[in-house]
Amino acid sequence: MKILVTGGAGFIGSHYVRTLAHRGGPAITVLDKLTYAGNLANLDSARGHFTFVQGDICDTALVAELVAEHDEVVHFAAESHVDRSIENAAEFVRTNVTGTQTLLDAAVRSGLKSFVHVSTDEVYGSIAVGSWPETDPLRPNSPYAASKAAGDLLALAYHRTHGLDVRVTRCSNNYGHHHFPEKVIPLFITNLLDGKKVPLYGDGLNVRDWLHIDDHVRGIELVRTAGRPGEVYNIGGGTELSNKELTALLLTACGADWDMVDFVEDRKGHDRRYSVDCTKICTELGYLPGKDFATGLAETVAWYRENRSWWEPLRERAALGVG
Ligand code: NAD
């Protein structure tokens, strides 16, 4: 069994590779372009357990060759930061749509055994009350979410049209170690550890469901190994917090107070609330989020305290604005 993991040098993909490698799982090849968000150091503890190919998922010849050599694909590679998609959506459409289509075409041609497409809850749009089941229509609002929705629907179309074994996961906001310091949790932690203020969007009342990367990786593995072809599985963490509530927890964890918060102009088109209904993956595949948020957040803050050498160069690499 050989698995091709795209985007395996990013935040979630690298955790997936490390987890499988530490378990002594199947042979893994990582295909990653190493954009500003990709970092080979994320895979240090898995060295010797995977083959690395630096390349672009839009490179038809490379993708065809690699997909043909593997049994399964787990597809994480994406442009993933909403703020960047508002500034310039071109790379989001190229990677998240064309890159996904390139992989899917190669999968059909090679007769791939299965293709797990890692999508996001943001494809559903924003929900005031209740939670989205997988059957809800997609109403993405940001260019990032729209490009992910296009990839997600393409993946499902390749199942219906070509009979490709595609499984789609739509997860909520991930958090944990090795998270690039432009996203809200690591941005706020690293700012506070450096004695800098944190930028809080609008009234701070936008609500997100937080999912620890351990739980997300477990959910993806359940879908890969026991999920059904052509099906979509929501994966959530069960901890809904407004950004203001999250900020309060991060201030406490870093020993700071509200003087360290700048309320800044809201993100354009900022979705008010995300909430996925996870009944399907819980009942069908036995998934339950295991990481208590208070514990997971404390571990995450401790990791950033202890791993300045990981994040300091990354803050310099990316022109950091608001998270
Ligand atoms: P990330 O930005 O940390 O990593 C993305 C990785 O993809 C990087 O290593 C980058 O180098 C690579 N990549 C980008 N463009 C590429 C290309 N054209 N060819 C090959 N590699 C390329 O992202 P992440 O947070 O780890 O997210 C992984 C996946 O999970 C994405 O598909 C994202 O949409 C989805 N997701 C993330 C979250 C979250 O909270 N982080 C939530 C829901 C869904």
pLDDT score for 315: 87
- The catalytic site residues sit at 121-122, 144
Instruction: Using the mean position of ligand 1's atoms as its centre, give its distance from the Cα of residue 32 in Å.
Output: 10
Q: Is the CB of 11 under 6 A from ligand 1?
A: yes
| Residue nearest ligand 1's atom 33 by CA | 80
Q: Which one of 1.10.3210.10, 3.30.70.1170, 3.90.25.10, 3.40.50.10800 gives the CATH number of domain 180-208+239-273+291-317?
A: 3.90.25.10
Determine the Cα–Cα distance for residues 83 and 183; give it in Å rounded to an integer.
10
| DSSP class of 257 | -
Which carries the bigger pLDDT value, residue 67 or residue 316? 67
Å from CA of 258 to ligand 1 middle: 32
**CA max distance for the chain:** 58
Average pLDDT over the chain reads 96
Q: Phi and psi of 74, rounded to 5°?
A: -120, 115
- Residue span(s) of the chain under CATH 3.90.25.10 come to 180-208+239-273+291-317
pLDDT at 290 over 90: yes
Segment 194-222 mean pLDDT: 97
Residues whose CB falls within 8 Å of the CB of residue 114, separated by 6 or more in sequence, listed in order: 71, 72, 73, 165, 166, 167, 224, 229
Name the pLDDT band for 319 (thresholds 50, 70, 90): low
Q: Is the CB of 236 under 6 A from ligand 1?
A: no
pLDDT in tens, 222-276: 999 999 999 999 999 999 999 999 999 999 999 999 999 999 999 999 999 999 9
pLDDT at 320 over 60: no
| Class of the CATH-defined domain 2-174+211-235 | alpha beta
The pTM (predicted TM-score) of the whole model is 0.97
Look at residue 245 and give its three-state secondary structure.
helix
Does an H or E element contain 241, and which? strand 239-242
Q: According to CATH, where is 3.40.50.720 located in the chain? A: 2-174+211-235
* Token duo for residue 96: 């998240």
* Chain segment 79-116, per-residue pLDDT in tens: 999 999 999 999 999 999 999 999 999 999 999 999 99
CB 64 within 8 A of CB 40: no
- The protein residue with its alpha carbon nearest to ligand 1, atom 13, reads 77
Q: What angle do CA 83, 203, 121 make, to 5 degrees?
A: 50
pLDDT in tens, 1-53: 999 999 999 999 999 999 999 999 899 999 999 999 999 999 999 999 999 99
Predicted local distance difference test score (pLDDT) of residue 322? 36
pLDDT-derived band of residue 317, with 50, 70 and 90 as boundaries? confident
**Ligand 1 site-directed mutation target among 4, 6, 12, 182, most atoms within 8 Å of CB:** 12
User: Which residues are CB-contacts of 23 (< 8 A; sequence separation ≥ 6)?
Assistant: none
